[in-house]
């Protein structure tokens, strides 16, 4: 997997460069000092998602979900496990479809919907429940085709 070279801080949305040779997973924001990779998915709204797309150079995995969706709730621990396994290699975001306009702009027709962005551009998407292994394999396969 290609290394992340820049990410948005999950706390203040400031862009942070990651120097070559430094472990991204241990990075902290230069402005607010928060961890850049919390080892768990980051909840985002439309504005925070836009900041991540703008400031992240590398992979973003977005889970569009809703609290009333059974498959979404079943997939949540798998998405969190994948975020832990790929901590520092991709940014994992969760967006509540009921509270945001971005899912409509992305053309989401069913949830859970997973999107993979590379350098701010959508490169793959998948709808439906996925296990941790299926999700990490899908990310690796989609990224290699991007």
**Portion of the chain with pLDDT greater than 90, in percent:** 79
**How far from the centroid of its chain's Cα atoms is residue 5's Cα?**
15
The domain segmentation of the chain, as residue ranges, is 38-145
Pairing state between β 6-8 and 91-96: unpaired
Q: Which candidate in 9, 29, 72, 100 is catalytic? A: 72
100 flagged as catalytic: no
Q: Is the pTM of this model over 0.95?
A: no
Q: Is 72 a catalytic residue?
A: yes
Q: What is the pLDDT of residues 37-89, one digit of tens each?
A: 888 999 999 999 999 999 999 999 999 999 999 999 999 999 999 999 999 88
CB hemisphere CA count around 77 (13 angstroms) = 2
Q: How many CB atoms lie within 10 A of CB 89?
A: 19
Q: Which fold, 38-145? A: Glutaredoxin (3.40.30)
Catalytic residue of the set 9, 29, 32, 69:
69
Q: What does the pLDDT look like over 88-144, one tens digit per residue?
A: 889 999 999 999 999 999 999 999 999 999 999 999 999 999 999 999 999 988 766
Strand partners, 91: 60
CA nearest 125: which of 96, 105, 101, 99? 105
């Amino acid at each position: 997997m290609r290394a992340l070279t820049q990410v948005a801080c999950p706390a203040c949305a400031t862009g942070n460069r990651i120097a070559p040779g430094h472990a991204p997973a241990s990075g902290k924001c230069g402005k607010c000092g928060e961890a850049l990779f919390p080892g768990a998915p980051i909840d985002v709204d439309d504005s925070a998602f836009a900041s991540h797309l703008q400031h992240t150079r590398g992979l973003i995995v977005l889970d569009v979900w809703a609290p009333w969706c059974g498959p979404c709730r079943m997939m949540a621990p798998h998405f969190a496990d994948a975020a832990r396994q790929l901590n520092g290699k991709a940014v994992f975001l969760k967006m509540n479809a009921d509270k945001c306009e971005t899912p409509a702009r992305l053309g989401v027709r069913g949830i859970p919907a997973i999107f993979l962005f590379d350098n701010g551009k959508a490169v793959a998407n998948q709808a439906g429940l996925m296990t941790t292994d299926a999700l990490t394999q899908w990310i690796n396969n989609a990224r290699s085709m991007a």
